[in-house]
Amino acid sequence: MRISVWENGTLRGSTLEELSAGHRKKLWFDIVDPSVGDMENVAETLKVPRNALLGKLRSNYPHIDSYPNYTKVFVWYLNTESTGKDLTSDMGPVIIFTNGHSVVSISQGWTKTSQVIAANYGSPRYEQISDTAKVIYLTLDHILESYEYFVDSFESQAEKLEDQNPPWPRSAYMEAFVISRESSSLLRLLRHLKKLTEALTDGHTELGISEDEKRLFDLIEERVTGAEETTEVSHDTMQDLIGLHMDTMSHDMNGTMRLIAALTVVIGVPSLISSLLGVNLAGSVYGNPPLVEIAVSVVSMAILGAFFYARGWLRID
């Protein structure tokens, strides 16, 4: 675990002892790569319930817990360089914890949350807002950028698949299924993130968000809403395209089955007629020469062929 504190325009190394002494002051502490044991020590240092910082992280969605003595913001950072099998297989939890005085950010190093906050923490643009609102806003902005990366990626992939005429190759079906599944997961994250941003500005938290700070979080909410709508369109498009191409495959298969049935009937005519007229015997029981059977067979096949052709059974669209 690495603990830092913002001082004189930069993050410097800190300790649990300094966190314990300074968490009642207007300071920003940053904690990177804590273990479960480290999180227990941090909870004890901040004098908060153990479950405030620990729990089944993988079962949590972005949310905000606000109590009289502390407020916790929990969000997921999505790995834009992930090579995992799905979107949610490689996510990093980010926690913002405040007691009304200090604000503590907790994250994994690969999410680069600390670097992003530190790079903008001293910007004149945010000098009029509180440390707590500043850290939460910069964190949500960073988190949302990772979500928007996948929003744009799904939209681009959906447009490419939409331009492909049926029938799709096998790989296209798998790609469409993955986009549908992943966009569904992203939609859930975005909807919870939207509720989180709404809670920051609706007066239901203990953060005391000012009007200037509300405008910043309103911008985040607008971006989340746009990302949600775009992802929903990509998801619905994939569902519709999968259904369309499956219907096309079913239609083509029905056409093939009709063609096989029609050819079977037409080709079976000579065998039927020759059997009925006794051509398969040493001496024809009807006394007819072979030309009669051939003529009858050809005429019958032509009539059946014309009938099936007129009904479209001999054509595959």
**pLDDT greater at residue 235 or residue 190:** 190
Task: Please state whether beta strands 2-7 and 10-13 pair in parallel, antiparallel, or not at all (unpaired).
Answer: antiparallel
Name 13's bridge partners.
Answer: 4
Nearest to 136 by CA among 77, 73, 88, 91: 73
| Residue 157 pLDDT | 84
Would the pLDDT of 262 be above 70? no
Of the candidates 204, 200, 21, 26, the one whose C-alpha atom is nearest the C-alpha of residue 100 is 26
CA-based R_g, the chain, Å:
34
Mean pLDDT is highest, among 5-19, 198-212, 273-287, for 5-19
pLDDT confidence of residue 280 = 52
The class level of CATH for 2-248 reads alpha beta
Mean pLDDT of the 123-134 span: 87
pLDDT the model gives residue 216: 87
Q: What b-and-e string marks burial along 191-218, b requiring 16 or more CB atoms within 10 Å of the CB?
A: bbbbebbebbbeeebebebeeebbebbe
Residues 6 or more apart whose CB falls under 8 angstroms from that of 71 comprise 64, 65, 97, 98, 100, 205, 206, 207
> For residue range 170-194, what is the model confidence (pLDDT) as tens digits?
677 777 788 888 888 999 999 999 9
Pairwise CA distance, residues 9 & 63, whole Å:
30
Q: Is the confidence at residue 38, as pLDDT, over 70? A: yes
| Helix (H), strand (E) counts: the chain | 7, 7
Reading the block at residue 240, the tokens are 């519709």
pTM, 2 dp: 0.75
- Six token digits for residue 306: 């014309």
The structural domains of the chain, with segments of one domain joined by +, span 2-248, 249-310
State residue 122's pLDDT score. 87
Higher pLDDT, 286 or 231: 231
Name the packing angle between helices 170-201 and 131-162 (round to 10°).
160
Q: Is 280 left (phi over 0), alpha (psi -120 to 50) or beta?
A: alpha
Residue 302 near residue 271 (C-beta atoms within 8 A):
no
pLDDT band per the 50, 70, 90 thresholds, residue 58: low
**Strand-pair category, 28-32 with 63-66:** unpaired
Contacts of 311 (CB under 8 A, 6+ apart): none
Q: Which of the two residues, 107 and 295, has the higher pLDDT score?
A: 107
More confidently predicted of 40 and 266: 40
Q: What is the reported pLDDT for 143?
A: 95
Q: Average pLDDT, whole number, for the chain?
A: 81
Number of neighbours of residue 17 by Cβ within 10 angstroms? 10
Angle at which helix 290-310 crosses helix 211-276, to 10 degrees, equals: 160
Q: Tell me the two tokens of residue 42.
A: 């941090």
Virtual torsion, Cα 87, 93, 94, 99, nearest 10 deg: 140
